Structure formats: C-alpha cells, structure tokens
Amino acid sequence: MKGRAVGLRRKSSFSDTIYFATILFLFLPLFVLFTYSFNAAKGGTWAGLSLVWYEKLLFESPTLWRAVFNSAVIALGSATAATILGSLAAVGTSRYRFKGRGPIKALSSMPMVLPEIVVGVSLLVFFAGVGLKLGMLTIFIAHATFNLPFVFLLVDARLDEFDPSVIEAAHDLGADELQTLLRVILPMAAPGIASGFLTAVTLSLEDFVITFFVSGPGSTTLPLYIYSAIRFGVSPVINALSAVMVCGTIALVYPLRNFLKAFAARA
Amino acid sequence: MKRNYGPLYAVPQSAWLLVFFAAPLVIIVGYSFLEKGLYGGVKPHLSLAAYRELANPALLGVAFRTLWVSVAATVVTLIVALPCGYSIARSHNQSLRLFLIIVPFWTNFLVRIYAWISILGNEGFLNDILRTLGVTSESVQFLYNQWAVILVLVYMYLPYAILPLFTSIDKFDFSLLEAARDLGASRFASYRLVLLPNIRSGIVTAVLFTFIPIFGAYAIPLLIGGKDSYMLGNLIADQVTKTRNWPLAASISMAVTLLSGLAAVVFLFRSRKGEAVAEVAESGMDSPGPVGRGGSASGTGGPAGATGATGLTLEVPA
C-alpha cells in the first residue's frame, strides 16, 4: 500500500521535471535577448556591459518608433471596431432567436479557423480587385476582420452565463430596448467585452503574416519592422527593444489581469 | 408587443464579415478556376490548369514535406505538453505555473523568432558556449534547416497544447487512477488505459491548436528554415508575390484549407465517438487562459468547438 502511494508521487515528480525543463526552454530566448541587450559588441560574443543599444533605441531609431506608433494606432483602432461590432452581434444572437441566427454564428467564428496565410492572400487579392491602395486602412480592415471572432466568442460566452430572466425583469419594469441594452446587458457583459478588447489588441500587435500581405509603403508595423531587421542585417537594438517590451508587458498586463479577475468576480 | 431586435444587432458584423471575409474567399475560389494573367492577376477564361498543377511532383514534394514537418512538430509538442499539463494540474500552485508558461509569449512573435536566430546563428549564443567550452573551434550552422524549424515550431506552439491538456487533466478524477492501481494495473497501464482516454478531448484540442497553424506556417520556415524546409505557406506566398501565379496560389490555398479542415473534422469525429459511452458533458471552460490567441481560443470553444464537452468516461478498464 505504502509503495503504491510513493509510486504515484514519484510519477508526478517525473512530470514536474519535464515541466521545469520546459520552463527553462521557454525562457531561454528571453534570457538570451536580455543578456545580449547589454552586450557592448554587435555579434554574439560577449564584449562587456554596455547600454549602447538602449541609447540607440531611444535616440537613433525614428523608423522603429514610427513602426511602434503605427502598430499602436492599428491595434487600438481595429480592436475598437471589432469590439463594437462583435459585442453587438453576440448580444443579438444570444438574446434573440431569428432566421439566419445559425449561419451568422457560424460565419462569426470562421475567420479563426482558416489558416492565416489564406486569410492574408485572399485579402490581398480582394484589395487589389476593388482597387484599394495598400496601407494603414487595409491593415486596419484586415485586423478588425481577424479580431471579430475572438470578441464575438468571448462576449457570447459571457452572455451565456447569466440568467435571461434579468432582462425580462427589466422589460417588465418598463425599460425599453436601449435602456435594457445600456443598463442591464452591457454592464453584465462588460468582463467579456473587456477581455475581448484586450485579446484583440494583443492579436493585432502580434500579427505578422496577414499584415505582411496587406501592408504598403509607409505602413510598417512593429512586426514588419522586426522582420526587415532580421532579413536585412540584424541590429542589437531589437534586443533592447524586446527587453523593454517584455518588462513593459509584464508591468502592464499582470495588474490588468488581476483587475479583470476582480472585475469578473464582482459582476 | 416586443420587437425582435436580434437581426438589427447582428447586421453590422455580418455585413463586415461578408465583405471582408466571405467575399475575398469567394474571389480566391473563383481565381483558382481561372487562367493566370501575364503580370499577376487573372484572365477571364475558365481553366483547371491551377488544379492540374497541384499534381506537379515538385509541388507534391513540398506538400509531403509540410505534412512531415507538421506531424513531427505536433508529436514532439504533444509529448512535452502532456507531462507539463499533468504537472500543472497536480500542482498546488496552478496559476503561478500557468503564468510561467504564458509569460514568454508576451514577447512579439517576430521577436521570439529573432531570439532563436540569436541562439542558433553562426555568431549565436549556442556557438559561443560551444567555443568557450572548447567543443568546437569553428562555428556550427544550426540555422536554416528542418530541425531548427521543428524546434522553433515546437517552441511557438507548446502553450497552445499545454493549456487545453491542463484544462482536461484538471477535470480528471484522480481517484480513478488509484482504483486502477488497486485493481492491479501497472502505473504505466493505469495512465495509458485510464488517464489518456479520459483526457481525449484535451488531446484533440491540443493537436488541432498545434497541427493546423503549423500546417499553414509561413514566417518560421521563411526565417529559420532553408531549402529543406520550404513549406506550403511559403509556396503560396511566393506564388502571390514573386512568381505572380495567382490561380496557383488560390488552388494551393484551397488545398491547404480543405486539408486542415478535413484533419479537424476527422479528429473531432473520432473523439466524439470515443466519448459517447458515458459523458458528463462539461462545457464552459473556466481555466485562467492567457491573453492571446491560445487562451482566448481555448476559453471559447476553439476551432469548431473542440474544447467544450470534456468527456469523463466512467468506465474503468480493469
């Protein structure tokens, strides 16, 4: 009996070993980026501690900051558009039964299933067909499109959780459709909407493949900038930038996650 | 009298998706049946040339290589992700352990690729260490081959496999394992016969979340790989931007979409059948998902609702 219990324990410590090895594997690139960002030399060989790449990042990289700015504009813009459209559609399909509801729900999650490269190529061909010049606008459209299903599904999942009789009660007490939407439904769906928006911002900042196809001159986003830096001569400025980005994201997202959790628990 | 406002709410999004998602897809399908234009674009002549070209041996070679790389990367990912998911599920500090898995993915996708280039490159971290240790005197090129591509693919998609596996292992009733042991099953047999069948839906989700994006991979083979790791995604991109054979790009896109769709359907179907025995359907994933594609997808049903319904088969094989 005793042996069995010990045996089960030992098995779980095998999986723990794999887990910790995996964590090391996952953090290795971050560690390397951090270390190299303080390297005085340009190559991989260590040549002493230096802040030269951070200096270059701050004062000598206007195109990089332009790309950061473009990425931020696209991310906020496309996430806002996707959040408004996706949330409304989720409210409509989860609260009402009507003809075409099934196909609409199916259509709403389809862009998520399609391979990215196919979405990118089809949008490129489409924009070329309608004669829309590639640039910030086309990137915005593409990002809003691939963000929609995520917002829709997150809000839909949230709306599924609460009791529909609350809405009936609001109607019985004399609230009209707009009042019900603004005072009852949206506040209840708020955690879903917020996480939909944040997911959309993250996905937009992250996207490379689709953006690659629908971008034009002057609309370089951060991933596209890094891509060209990799292709046409690696600069350790990227190391410094990544180090800043990781720290920034952790500083930003961790409190936000806790806030969201508290928010979700309250609502 | 209450009006039905449902369609009104749904119209803006549906219109957007019809114009910017469905219409481009229809165009791609249409283009795949047309003749190619001289300088990109298409000529308005119906033709099956683009589909006939799919049988081209060079193209089939790329297709098989893509399949091999995707299968290899998915299998390795799964083998690593299973014990990880198990370890997280059995830990007393689940949220910290999940957090550690997710943190590296708060760096940009391209930055992570770049980081791997700095590790594996000629002047990279690994070569630096090997030289310092005196193992090699000249630098070894670890980059630009299939193995580097598989390694980086595994790196990128591990969390997408770990999260759904964790979720389904977390819901597993571990007393079933003890029961199996009491009934005389060996440790290995109890895992194979009791744990694995019960977390089938998690395994299916993990496979779908890794295999499908890897099958359509573009950036990783482009930047990490070389000639021996040119994949279908790269082929499509080159047909669009370099060779300018749009009908062929369209027909390959169709093939990739159909193949990954087919893989999804086959996998989902097989898992459904297996779970039909006695299912405590438990939809609504309440795992603390990450911010990002993997998490949001695993939180809401994933491709074709793969994540819902975690089956708990109550049959314990003796």
Cβ(B259)–Cβ(B211) under 8 Å?
A: no
Looking at CATH, the fold of the domain delimited by B57-305 is given as: MetI-like fold (1.10.3720)
CB contact under 8 A, A44 and B84: no
Per-residue pLDDT tens digits for B93-119 = 888 899 889 888 878 889 899 899 989
Chain-centroid distance, C-alpha A199? 4
Q: Above 60 in pLDDT, residue B64?
A: yes
pLDDT (0 to 100) of residue A21: 95
Angle among Cα B47, B53, B58 to the nearest 5 degrees reads 170
Rg over CA atoms, chain A: 24
CB contact under 8 A, A96 and B9: yes
Looking at CATH, the fold of the domain delimited by A53-266 is given as: MetI-like fold (1.10.3720)
Q: Above 50 in pLDDT, residue B312?
A: no
Supply B82's token pair: 């299973």
As a whole-number percent, the residues of chain B with pLDDT over 70 amount to 83
Neighbours of A226 (CB within 10 A): 24
Per-residue pLDDT tens digits for A89-113 = 999 888 888 888 888 888 888 888 7
Domains of chain B, residue spans: 57-305
Q: Report d(CA A223, CA B111) in Å as an integer.
A: 8
Question: Within an 8 Å CB–CB cutoff, is residue B68 touching chain A?
Answer: no
| Residue A170: band (very low, low, confident or very high) from pLDDT cuts 50, 70, 90 | confident
Q: Is the dihedral of CA B80, B85, B86, B92 positive or negative?
A: positive
Q: Is B230 helix (H, G, I), strand (E, B) or coil?
A: coil
Interface of B with A in 149-188 (CB under 8 A): 155, 158-159, 162, 177-178, 181, 187
Residues contacting residue B93 through CB under 8 Å, at least 6 positions apart: none
- Work out the minimum CA distance from A157 to partner chain B, whole angstroms: 7
Question: Of B3, B9, B86, which has the smallest distance from its Cβ to A91's Cβ?
Answer: B9
Q: Report d(CA B242, CA B250) in Å as an integer.
A: 14
- Work out the minimum CA distance from B276 to partner chain A, whole angstroms: 24
- Which residue of chain B is at minimal alpha-carbon distance from A111? B21
Question: Of A123, A171, A227, which has the smallest distance from its Cβ to B24's Cβ?
Answer: A123
Task: Considering only residues B184 and A134, tell me which one the structure prediction assigns the higher pLDDT.
Answer: A134
Mean of the per-residue pLDDT values for chain B? 80
Supply B1's token pair: 């009298």
pLDDT (0 to 100) of residue A130: 92
Task: Considering only residues B290 and A138, tell me which one the structure prediction assigns the higher pLDDT.
Answer: A138
* Report for A157-166, B212-221, B297-306: range of highest mean pLDDT: B212-221
Residues contacting residue B224 through CB under 8 Å, at least 6 positions apart: B113, B116, B117, B120, B143, B144, B148, B149, B152
Residues contacting residue A40 through CB under 8 Å, at least 6 positions apart: A47, A48, A49, A50, A52
In single-letter form, the type of residue at position B150 comes to I
Angle among Cα B282, B285, B291 to the nearest 5 degrees reads 170
Question: Of A88, A202, A203, which has the smallest distance from its Cβ to B13's Cβ?
Answer: A88
Beta-bridge partners for B34: B46
pLDDT (0 to 100) of residue A9: 47
| Residue A266: band (very low, low, confident or very high) from pLDDT cuts 50, 70, 90 | low
Neighbours of A26 (CB within 10 A): 21
Q: Report d(CA A85, CA A143) in Å as an integer.
A: 13
pLDDT (0 to 100) of residue A80: 97
Mean pLDDT of A128-156: 94
| Residue B23: band (very low, low, confident or very high) from pLDDT cuts 50, 70, 90 | very high
Chain-centroid distance, C-alpha B214? 5
Per-residue pLDDT tens digits for B24-60 = 999 999 999 998 887 767 888 888 888 998 989 999 9
Per-residue pLDDT tens digits for A28-79 = 999 988 888 888 887 667 778 888 889 888 888 888 899 999 999 999 999 9
Domains of chain A, residue spans: 2-37, 53-266
| Residue A10: band (very low, low, confident or very high) from pLDDT cuts 50, 70, 90 | very low
pLDDT (0 to 100) of residue A243: 86
DSSP structure string for B88-122? HHH-S-HHHHHHHHHGGGGS-HHHHHHHHHHHHST
CB burial readout B126-143, b (16+ within 10 A) else e: bbbebbeeeeeeebeebb
